[in-house]
Structure 1
Amino acid sequence: MSELVFDQVSVRYGARHHALTAVDGASLTVPSGQVVGLVGESGSGKSTLARAAVGLAPVSTGRILLDGSDVRRLRGRRRPVQMVFQDPYSSLDPRMSIGDSIAEALPRARPRGLRGKAVRRAEVARLLAQVNLDPERAVLLPGQLSGGQRQRVAVARALAGQPQVVIADEITSALDVSVQGTVLNMLSDVQRQLNLTMLFISHNLAVVRYLSDHIAVMYLGRIVEAGPTEEVLADPRHPYTRDLLAAVPSRTSPAPADRPPAPEPAALAAAEPADPHHPPPGCRYHPRCPAGPLVHAGRDLCRTSDPAEGAGRRPHHAACHFTTPVPPSPSLRP
């Protein structure tokens, strides 16, 4: 078991007028043996933060620590942080059998020769069975499998490296709805069996609730709210989290046919998403916020003062000047 810590991590691309800060001072802890769900809309920086943890994105400032050690300084063939990508087909060599792809990720310190090959074949078979795939499929190519099966192979390949932490980046978003549930159940079983530390990235709050012990919400490169999953979803303190929840269709509380939804304030309806190259001053969400100055007079503080500075003193570390309790939201179902 290992703890993964993002300590004031920033990831920047380009320079001067063309610079983009994809992640801006993000701090997040993934506790040992637990699952943290990271949610946010497209472009919020979720995947960039994940890629930084495995060395695929440059860390401009801050540190990423695994049990207190900087992951960038860890040496050796074995990589303690493994990532499962959104598109399994692009992460697997289409000319290599799935058995060979998994075997390639096994640590090289295993016996060589005939006995070594037998051991590696047995380990590949074990890993395929662990992700609920028939070991006989080891001879097949990725193109001979369905999307859900390829994603299981990608998980098995990540586990082959004997990681301390697994990062799953939107691994069900490219799958049919009928397949998503079986993949999520498999991932949940594997996480419990191995007591893995996991960062699970998704835009689907129902999926995050099903898998995660904790949840973190990201907007425009920053973590704006974080805490135990049930607490955050039942009592969100940041307006952006509430908006994400409101966007989830509810099966338990359908809107009456004779009652139209409340009209959105004209100022919010006309608001454009912020330019990530030039984020707004103060609270980054204030140009779209239903609790901000566009709707409530006297809240110009949101335009000038960064709420991230006092987030540690607020419930769920919410980066909002006006954190107030709201009624519990309807239960979410994956």
Structure 2
Amino acid sequence: MSELIFDTVSVRYGGRRGLTAVDGVSLTVPAGKVVGLVGESGSGKSTLARAAVGLSPISAGRVLLGGVDVRKLPRRRPLQMVFQDPYSSLNPRMTIGESITEAIPRGVLPGRSARKEEAARLLELVNLDPDRAEHLPGQMSGGQRQRVALARALAGRPEALIADEITSALDVSVQGAVLNLVRSVQRQLDLSMLFISHNLAVIRYLSDIVAVMYLGRIVEAGPAEQVLTDPQHPYTRDLLDAAPSAHKSLFDLEPSATADAEPPDPHYPPAGCRYHPRCPVGPLVRTDREICLRADPVEDAASRRHAAACHFSESEGHEPAISRGASA
């Protein structure tokens, strides 16, 4: 296991008028811990993950694994990623066994027999029959393919693992089984893990630490229980308020008018606080809070609880939002 650090990472596409999908993100995944990264679609979560594994260009900053810049790691880097769509991440013409053995680093297990045995062991680790090694991806269900994708990632001998929305493409009936498997494997192998999801129930179930991302930036981060029971940023509270729970169904949700506002164009993010056009406690509601229009709260976020990127995070009274004790 190794610590995974995002050190002021930015990812920009296009020229001067291009899109900054990730803007100066700093985030630490401690060794052996699970960090849950949550945010709405388009917030930059997947782009940050892809930058870590070399699939998106890092425009500024760096990603460190065990203190080493990931761009200097060997091709078979000890940082692996499991993608959202298990079918597109597997070669449809390769058997399951071939896909797994291909991911085993060269020189680790010389000999075809040893590599086949390792593939069988990994299939058992993810609760699949080793006989499945002879099957093609198209012969398996979505949940089974996602288990294979996890086994393939583990074949790379990772010190850290990134899981990007790995249950969102699965039926609800199998999501719980996959999440239980992920939690079991992470604990058994003592992996450092960045788990990305827009589902707060999933984040709550798996994570030791929660980070909240909005419009390319981390706006709040801290111990999972603290962030989910006492959120400091208005965006985090809006996410929690919009999540159905045992006491609140989809039909009971009443988001504020500001929360319903159209998200800003990421090509032209607002000045000052990026959340102020949608903020239920910002200048649209409190006209005396003009500072939100001109000063960026990210600059001194480290001085606030949960490093909240909000000028007024500690001045807003609010009820505890969610209990982490329930299962996903």
Same fold (TM over 0.5): yes
* Shift in Å, 1:269: 6.6
**Equivalent-residue separation in structure 2 for 1:83 and 1:269 (angstroms):** 32
Give the gaps of 5 or more residues in structure 2. none
The amino acid across from 2:104 in the alignment is L
The amino acid across from 1:321 in the alignment is H
The amino acid across from 1:106 in the alignment is I
**Equivalent-residue separation in structure 2 for 1:261 and 1:103 (angstroms):** 48
Q: What's the counterpart of residue 10 of structure 1?
A: 10
**Equivalent-residue separation in structure 1 for 2:260 and 2:98 (angstroms):** 53
Question: Among 210, 213, 218, which residue is 2:213 paired with?
Answer: 218
Per-residue CA deviation, residues 250-308 of structure 1 (Å, 9 max, x unaligned), is: 213569x9xx876834xx27732100000000000000000100111201110100000
CA gap 1:273/1:313 in 2 versus in 1, 3 angstroms: same
How many residue pairs get matched? 324
**Equivalent-residue separation in structure 1 for 2:96 and 2:261 (angstroms):** 48
**Equivalent-residue separation in structure 1 for 2:295 and 2:309 (angstroms):** 11
* Aligned-residue CA RMSD (Å): 1.6
Q: What's the counterpart of residue 202 of structure 1?
A: 197
Q: What's the counterpart of residue 63 of structure 1?
A: 62
Q: What's the counterpart of residue 93 of structure 2?
A: 95
Contact 1:253 1:330 in 2 (8 A): no
Contact 2:259 2:279 in 1 (8 A): no
CA gap 1:271/1:110 in 2 versus in 1, 3 angstroms: closer
Contact 1:2 1:164 in 2 (8 A): yes
Per-residue CA deviation, residues 122-176 of structure 1 (Å, 9 max, x unaligned), is: 1000000000000011000000000000000000000000011000000000000
Contact 1:97 1:141 in 2 (8 A): yes
Question: Among 298, 302, 309, which residue is 1:308 paired with?
Answer: 298
Q: What's the counterpart of residue 141 of structure 2?
A: 146
**Equivalent-residue separation in structure 2 for 1:51 and 1:205 (angstroms):** 21
**Equivalent-residue separation in structure 2 for 1:57 and 1:198 (angstroms):** 19
Contact 2:160 2:193 in 1 (8 A): yes
Structure 2 counterparts to residues 167-246 of structure 1, below 5 A: 167-246=162-241
**Equivalent-residue separation in structure 2 for 1:212 and 1:190 (angstroms):** 14
Deviates more, 1:290-299 or 1:223-232: 290-299
Counterpart check, 1:248 vs 2:214: no
**Equivalent-residue separation in structure 1 for 2:259 and 2:48 (angstroms):** 30
Task: Provide the TM-score with structure 1 as the length reference.
Answer: 0.94
* Shift in Å, 1:79: 1.2
Aligned to 2:88, the other structure's residue is in SS state: helix
**What is the aligned-residue identity percentage?**
69
Question: Among 147, 155, 172, which residue is 2:150 paired with?
Answer: 155
Higher radius of gyration, 1 or 2: 1
The amino acid across from 1:127 in the alignment is L
**Equivalent-residue separation in structure 2 for 1:280 and 1:187 (angstroms):** 38
The amino acid across from 1:28 in the alignment is L
**Equivalent-residue separation in structure 1 for 2:165 and 2:255 (angstroms):** 32
Structure 2 counterparts to residues 110-149 of structure 1, below 5 A: 110=108, 112=110, 116-149=111-144
Aligned to 2:154, the other structure's residue is in SS state: helix
Question: Among 267, 271, 288, which residue is 1:277 paired with?
Answer: 267
Aligned to 1:322, the other structure's residue is in SS state: coil
**Equivalent-residue separation in structure 1 for 2:177 and 2:254 (angstroms):** 37
CA gap 1:269/1:54 in 2 versus in 1, 3 angstroms: closer
**Equivalent-residue separation in structure 2 for 1:244 and 1:270 (angstroms):** 12
Q: What's the counterpart of residue 74 of structure 1?
A: 73
Task: Provide the TM-score with structure 2 as the length reference.
Answer: 0.95
**Equivalent-residue separation in structure 2 for 1:269 and 1:99 (angstroms):** 48
Q: What's the counterpart of residue 24 of structure 2?
A: 25
The amino acid across from 1:225 in the alignment is E
CA gap 1:292/1:127 in 2 versus in 1, 3 angstroms: same
Per-residue CA deviation, residues 36-67 of structure 1 (Å, 9 max, x unaligned), is: 00000000000000000000000000111112
Give the gaps of 5 or more residues in structure 1. none
**Equivalent-residue separation in structure 2 for 1:147 and 1:234 (angstroms):** 33
